[in-house]
Structures are given as C-alpha cells and as structure tokens.
Structure 1
Amino acid sequence: MTSEHPYPAAFRSGDLVSVSGRLGVTETGELVPGGFDAECAQAFANLDAALESVGASRTDVVKVVAYLTDITDRSALNAVYEGFFAESRPARSCIGAASLPYGGVVEVEALARVRDV
C-alpha cells in the first residue's frame, strides 16, 4: 500500500505487533483482478509484508480479524486462511462490512507477539 495513510502498516511495541487493515491491493493502490480469492490472497501477502516490516512473521500472529462485504465468502476465506497459516492457526473473527476502502471485498488485520528464541 502507498504511504499516503496517516498510520503505519504495522506498529511494534516491545513484543507486540498490531497490523492495520490490509486490503487486496497492489503497491499502487489498485485492487488485484480476479475476484475474492485473488483479493484475499493479496490481502494476506500484504499482511506478510507489514509483519516483516517490523521484524515479525505470520508464525507470530495470535489473532486475525477479517472484514467481508459478503459474509457468504467466509468459506473461501477459510480456504485461503488455512493455506496461509499452515504451521499454526491463530484465533480469528470474521465480520460482515457494508463497504471497504477502494471497493475491496476483504480486509484483514492482525495482532502478533514476537517471541525471542
């Protein structure tokens, strides 16, 4: 996502990381073509990038909130979610939303805890 937003993609405070809502958009702010599955995969790729920007990874995620403009897409979200979090599946909430920025159909945010090894 572009840097036009007044908030960071991710914010780290000690071992806690909060990731702002990630949409299925490219770095230029364009929605990826291909419908829900493509947008969802891109949103999770953007979540990955935000986590990496503050020294975290998907294995550190403990909670995900997903917003869907069509709650019947929950099964499709589950398929992408299971593939993305193959190693561990954090807690997740799924919320129906009337609309999302850029006309997106899915947005994900996350909370992570970075554990020192």
Structure 2
Amino acid sequence: MTAQKQRVRSDAVREPAEKTWSNCLRIGDLVTVSGMTARGADGETVTGREYDQSKVVFGKIRSLLEAAGAAMDDVVKMTIYVTDISNNTEVWKARQEFFDGDFPACTLVEVSALAKPEILVEIEALAVAGCGSAR
C-alpha cells in the first residue's frame, strides 16, 4: 500500500497563504517541516538575536511535529540558514534546549538574506515518526 500525503497543521504556527506551500507534511512515518522563521502568529518577526529567534523556530517545529504524531527526538535531519555564520553558537545553544541524546544530522549555511531583513535564522526539519529513543 502506498503511503498517503497528509498536510499537518498546528494552532501554534501560522498557515501560509493558500496555494503557496505547506508548513508540514506527513507521508507514512516521514514528516517534513518547511523552513520555519521567527514570525509570530500575527506575521510579525519576533525580535532578538539568533538565540531568541532559534528558540521560537524550534518551538514551532516541535508544535508541527507533535501535531503530526512525532517528537523532536524523531528529527533525523535539519538544514539551518543564518545570515551571519559568526553567530552560529547562538543557534547551537538554542538547539541544545530542544534535543537530547543523538542530535540529528545537520547542515548550517550562511545566506545573504532571508525573507525579511530582521529574520536571522530559518530552519527546516525532516523526521521519521517513532524512530527516536524517547518512544
């Protein structure tokens, strides 16, 4: 039987405009989360440096994963985009507050800009529901 694609929503994460992208999809046990930024429910970017924004982003990822029936410990791969790589330790500091045990595979790259000038961090995640040790 072929796994069905299911769009996942969370009240904690603002949905994008119709016909643009999905924040989160679940296909069988695979859960993919689009690049999340520190935009709040009102669409405004949460102010702060990389640490503050990363905490907001990881919180949004956790909310989407939980809505999909997965957990942060199920994340197997992340891609992190930052506008200033010299502040990467701020992202790692926030990440340590959301992950335990074996951390996911991860790529961190510096980009010249994100969607808005005040956005400093964008993170996408790939998870396999039920694979983490917390289960």
- TM-score higher than 0.5: yes
* Cα distance, 1:90 vs structure 2: 0.8
Q: Does residue 57 of structure 1 match 2:75?
A: no
Contact 1:67 1:106 in 2 (8 A): yes
Q: Which has the higher contact order (CA 8 A, sep 6+)?
A: 1
Q: Is the 8 A contact 1:2 1:29 kept in 2?
A: no
TM-score, length of structure 2 as denominator length: 0.79
Cα RMSD over matched residues?
Answer: 1.6
Note the C-alpha offset of 1:101.
1.3
- Return 5+ residue gaps in structure 1 as ranges: none
CA distance in 1 between partners of 2:68 and 2:130 (Å)? 13
How many residues align structurally? Answer: 117
Richer in helix (by share) = 1
Q: 2:46 aligns with which of 3, 24, 32?
A: 32
**1:81 Cα shift?**
1.2
Match of 2:85 among 71, 89, 95: 71
Identity of aligned residues (%): 31
Where in structure 1 do 4 or more consecutive aligned residues deviate above 3 Å? none
Q: TM-score, normalised by structure 1?
A: 0.90
Q: Is the 8 A contact 2:73 2:99 kept in 1?
A: yes
State which drifts further: 26-35 or 65-74. 26-35
What's the counterpart of residue 115 of structure 1? 130
* Map 1:37-52 → 2, pairs under 5 A: 37-52=51-66
Once the two structures are TM-superposed, the CA of residue 14 in structure 1 deviates from its matched residue by: 0.4
